[in-house]
Amino acid sequence: MKFYYVEYVLADVLSEVEKRQISLRAAMAEYFAKRKELEPIKGLARAYALGLLRKYRLVDFIAEEVLGVKVEELNPWEKNLLRALIYELKFRNVKLDRVLKVSRKLSYMKLDLKALKAIKMTSTKSLLRRKGGLERLSIKYSQPEWVVRYLVSILGRREVERLLKKFNEKPTLWIRVNTLKTSKRKLLKILKRRGLKVSEDFDLPDVLRVDTSMSLSRIPEHELGFFYVQDKASVLAGHVLSPEPGEHVLDMCTAPGSKALHIATLTRNKSFILGLDWKPARLKTLLKGARRLGVYSIIIVAMDSRTFSPPKRFDKILLDPDCTSLGRLGHSPEIRFWIKENMIFKMRKLQYELLNRGIDLLKRGGTLVYSTCTLTKEENELLIKQVLEERSDVELEEAIPKIGLEGLEGLVETQRLYPHIHDTQGFFVAKIRKIK
């Protein structure tokens, strides 16, 4: 294998993430598919990238205060290489000689040993004292300042600092047991025999908590379809929907398919499930998952749910629309690169249209579960309240099983999950029944 510094891989991958606003996972898959010879350092590169993304604003602040460099003025590749080098000096204890050697690829500026030593010796705590209030919090925890300000407005500063700290820790790994092929007890025993630290969850009947640095996709039981990597909060949505065999179920925004696959499992492949998504490429993941898990009761169609006009209405509908994803700032820290406050209102418009269309597609007496992985009230409680006020054909039901906190704005029937409290993604779920 031709030698290639991992710092250059980071610069390559993160510049693509930032420019194209794609997930780290997608960028890395694309990058290493083209560079098979670099596969041995893929795990190292991913770990580095996640660590850097959880520190990037602090790293940028160090560059500005110690080197006098405005990182945002650099081209994407040099920006992310400089970030990688500063991250190594401050948080990875990499030797100065190596960092100096790697830094020679920087054309905008030249780093010397004096500059590197200054970075290494500077106290980040002292630097942060130069900033106050929410700006200091946003830099310390590397979150957009508007996100910190928004979260403080609904949760309070003390609670938000706990949440921000959790966002920068390794997230809890959950898996859903595929009960079409095995049982929770059997899978628990198998994974423990393989040396994994696995514990049972007592809130939901089909999830396990896994603590491992091993890639779960390499475990034989994964390929056999015995389990599916899915956050506990996401699994909750399927249980709140509570589908029954024989029912007609619509998943309005189905890709990548975790919730539709769960619905099929809950109904033992004995319900009719229609999955719609307007991005055809994203549906491939669902098809692959269905084959692996032994699911055959889902029909998928690439289309916008807002224009869908079926001959019959549905018993159950799941709506998990695109959102600002603030609940995933720990799982997918790259979101911090591009998330903007005005996206809340863009997403809310889409969600409002989808929710109203979903209600129209429900049978009388049918239920719709609305869920998001974001924490804004505009995309959650305020949206639900608006629809309830505007329509006389629906009412709010309690979302059970209840494992989260009561929703805000007086919507006690809904629930919210927070990473620092529930060890899940940040999540919201509401259940609506059609009464006319």
259-264 mean pLDDT: 98
What digits encode the pLDDT tens for the residues 68-121?
999 989 999 999 999 999 999 999 988 999 999 999 999 888 899 999 999 999
Per-residue pLDDT band for 281 (boundaries 50, 70, 90) equals: confident
Hunting for tokens 């890709």 — which residue is that? 255
**129-183 tens-digit pLDDT:** 999 899 999 999 999 999 999 999 999 999 999 999 999 999 999 999 999 999 9
pLDDT at 329: 98
Distance CA 260, CA 253 (A): 10
The pLDDT value given to residue 139: 97
Which pTM was predicted? 0.95
User: Residue 23: exposed, middle, or buried by beta-carbon count in 10 A (0-12, 13-18, 19+)?
Assistant: middle
Choose the catalytic residue: 134, 255, 373, 430.
373
Type of residue found at 186:
K
Strands 227-229 and 173-177: antiparallel
Q: Tokens 């009230």 label which residue? A: 377
The owner of tokens 């509908």 is 317
* Amino acid at position 422, single letter: H
Structural domains for the chain? 6-130 (1.10.940), 131-169 (no CATH), 173-229 (3.30.70.1170), 232-434 (3.40.50.150)
Q: What is the pLDDT of residue 3?
A: 59
pLDDT tens-digit map of 54-73: 999 999 999 999 999 999 89
Looking at residues 275-295, what average pLDDT do you find? 94
Q: What is the pLDDT of residues 128-140, one digit of tens each?
A: 999 989 999 999 9
Q: State the chain's maximal CA–CA distance in angstroms.
A: 74
Highest mean pLDDT among 27-36, 106-115, 370-379: 370-379
> 274 φ, ψ to 5°?
-110, 125
Q: What is the pLDDT of residue 282?
A: 86
Assess contact for 346 and 397: CB atoms under 8 A: no
Active-site annotation holds for 373: yes
- Comparing C-alpha atoms, which of 44, 167, 67 is closest to residue 114? 67
d(CA 421, CA 207): 18
